[in-house]
Structure formats: C-alpha cells, structure tokens
Amino acid sequence: MNKQVYLAGDMLNKGAQMQRASEKSDIKKIGLSMYVPQDNAEINDKANLNNNDGLAEKIVKHDTDAIINSDIIVIEPLPQGLGTHIELGQVLGMFDMAHMILDIAENEEQPMIILDKIIKLAERTANKKILPHYEDIRRVNGSTETDDRRSLGINQYVYGACLKLTNGKGFYEWEEVLKELKQIKKEPTL
C-alpha cells in the first residue's frame, strides 16, 4: 500500500499557490500519493456550488478525512494561513489523544475487542510522520537580530506544536522534507 501525504499550507494568493504547486511537483517525483486541499474540486469549484451551501462543512469533512487517512503530514504554518493553523491544531490534538489512548492501553491487562480497535486507530495516528517547514526568507539561523528589531517572529505556540510533533526537531528545510519522503517511499509497506 502506497503511503499518502497530506500537503498543507497557505493557498489563498498566487505566490502561495505557486509554492504549493512546487511542493506537490517535488513530492510527485518521489512517487507518493497525496491529498492537496486546493486540488479537491468538490470543495473548491466555487462556480458549481449553490450559493456556497454547506461549503464550510464539506471542507472540514474532506480535509479532516484526508488528515486522518494520510500517513505523512507536510505542513507550512505561515501566519497568514489560518486554515493551515487549524490543520496543525487538529493534527496536534489527534496526536495527543492517540498518545493518551496508548498510555491507557499500556496499563490494561486484558483489552477488550473495542479497545483493540481504539489502539489500532491510535497507533495509526501516533505514528504519522509530521514534516513542518517554514519557507519565509526572513528566517535565519544564528541571526544577530534582537528584541523588536527582528525581521521575523514565529508564533511560539505554533512552533511549540511543531516541536512536539517532530520530537524536538521543529521546522524542516524543504530539502530535508524531500529526503524524509524519499526514505519513507523506500520503506516496505505492510
């Protein structure tokens, strides 16, 4: 079974759309399947929607199902990407819940059938590879900028979520994302 990537990031201006298209192209070359929210015509073909009837609900349903069913989350949580922040929060909430369920299951001597199903779902969620990246050109490691003279300040809650989801790594550089995806593609599937 081919692993699926969920590709998340701002998509509301032309530059952001070009960035997502470039990322999609890079991932496609690796050979992984992916869900890209802006490619879903059912929720993005505004011309065929009846007065946006139920659009918000459809977006949440489709994108949430894709997050749940993806094995890898590639996400760029830039400040202007409000929907992307919701996706990141949803992934973090699922990650935390999965670990809570696994902790409970670890202490259960004889799990019931329903607990076995919950454990399988939690394991799938807990084992997702999360690859946040931040392509803002103002992000500089080792900068001498201080106090209010910084050219970029990453929201620390967003950064904390990325740190937690990556076991302390934080943000990946795009080349690191591609390297990780190539490695995952080589792994045997169950």
Burial (CB count <10 Å: 0-12, 13-18, 19+), residue 24 = middle
Which pLDDT score is estimated for 66?
96
Q: Predicted confidence band at 176 (pLDDT cuts at 50, 70, 90)?
A: very high
Candidate ranges 82-91, 102-111, 118-127, 128-137; pick with highest mean pLDDT = 82-91
Mean per-residue pLDDT, 108-120: 73
pLDDT at 137: 75
Strands 33-35, 72-76: pairing kind: unpaired
Mean pLDDT rounded to a whole number for the chain: 86
Per-residue confidence band for 190, with pLDDT thresholds at 50, 70 and 90: low
In this predicted structure, the answer to whether residue 5 has a pLDDT above a threshold of 90 is: yes
Using the predicted structure, report yes or no on whether residue 65 has a pLDDT greater than 90. Answer: yes
**Whether the predicted pLDDT of 117 surpasses 70:** yes
**pLDDT at residue number 149:** 67
Domain chopping of the chain, boundaries: 4-81+128-186
pTM for this one?
0.77
CATH 3.40.50.450 fits 4-81+128-186, yes or no: yes
| pLDDT higher than 70, residue 15 | yes
Query: Across residues 140-151, what is the average pLDDT?
Result: 69
